[in-house]
Structure 1
């Protein structure tokens, strides 16, 4: 039986062997084609991904360069804007005039310096005590005219102070001037606008604090910067 089966098998392969071989070859070719197609698709996908990544890198680099350029330009513009500050000639001139006016005072009275400004206590014979002198005592005869040292507005008139009759002028530039030991008949009123050199009163003998000093009759002259007394010698010379 085995011999018959073997003979049948041999005859089958003899008659149908060509087709079997052809089928096997076709299967091999089809498998190879499928594998080739898959390989090509994979390679194409890899190449596309590589191109996409390269494009993204180029766009990122370009964006970074543009950002850096914009930042540098912004810094340059900011720097240039600071450097290009131009003050108009008229404004510069007016500022110069304003600064000069704010640091220059006319003499309030013709006379000589009797006692200088001192924040340290000094001896006063009139009261036999030591205390500061927050102004200038300018020796001048009774009745000598007293002038406004700068344009301004009369802020205060007080006849009941230790330094005698007092007039305060606000110059509206941060400075005030104070004129004390005036005659009771002052020439101005509170709230009045005055000009530099205008007569505001006369030297009197109304002080209680320094009525008996050796240098005699005088004008007590003070300068306020803000709320602080400062040395009038910075603004006027005797």
Structure 2
């Protein structure tokens, strides 16, 4: 057999194998490079983590044949639900003073307090549970700003708290801004100054969906939530009914 004939046989075989593999991947629904797109500048994590099974008894399946979300009922049982554990996560005294004087991330009144040492009532879930941050009532689309200088370390859509931005500050502090609209204004690794716009108040938090529009705001020290009210002056609503 001549070298030329062997060359063409090898080339034909290679093309056939690649074509067959592509057809099999297409029929199996496995995305190939360039096929996967994600909304806005949110991370791909939303596609695998977006499930409300633990809260509604339904699993949201992203990306059916028409590119639309579909909902599949799942069997409800006690193991599907998160049971809150009351704990004291107060930060140690040392290091705390470094974050005193945080700016309010959004102008409004606190409609739900930080509560990691007691239970508060969740209207959406119809249960008593802990609450690791402040819910600050505001207008839909109102600008949300960085409480202090820092660096964006994460932008994603959380299965419970919706569109979320995490900013890292000095001395092991982080601030978390959740329940934003999908039109976020930052990307991971962006360096922010106090007062820079991060995003806009939305209604993407599934576990707080029937509450009035608000920003869910957390402060973490050494990986543990602490009361944001320790670091800023906040205005408290007389009752959450003021925002219904």
Task: Report the TM-score range of the alignment, normalised by the length of the smaller protein.
Answer: 0.5 to 0.7
Deviation at 1:99, TM superposition (A): 7.9
The whole-number CA distance in structure 2 between the counterparts of 1:218 and 1:236 is: 18
Aligned counterpart, 2:218? 222
Aligned counterpart, 2:108? 111
C-alpha change, 1:212 and 1:104, in structure 2 (3 Å) is same
SS at match of 1:159: strand
Unaligned runs of 5+ in 1: 1-97
Q: Find out whether 1:208 has 2:209 as its counterpart.
A: no
Q: Which has the larger radius of gyration?
A: 1
2:138 to 140, 143, 146: 140
After TM superposition, the structure 1 = structure 2 runs for residues 1-238 of structure 1, keeping only pairs within 5 Å, are 102-119=99-116, 120-213=118-211, 216-238=212-234
TM-score normalised per structure 1? 0.56
Q: Compare the two structures and name the one with the higher strand fraction.
A: 2
Deviation at 1:161, TM superposition (A): 2.8
TM-score normalised per structure 2? 0.55
Q: Compare the two structures and name the one with the higher helix fraction.
A: 1
Q: Paired residues, what number?
A: 139
Are 2:98 and 2:171, in contact at CA under 8 Å, matched by a contact in 1? no
RMSD: 1.5
Give per-residue Cα distances to partners, 1:35-61, cap 9 Å, x unaligned: xxxxxxxxxxxxxxxxxxxxxxxxxxx
The whole-number CA distance in structure 2 between the counterparts of 1:134 and 1:205 is: 18
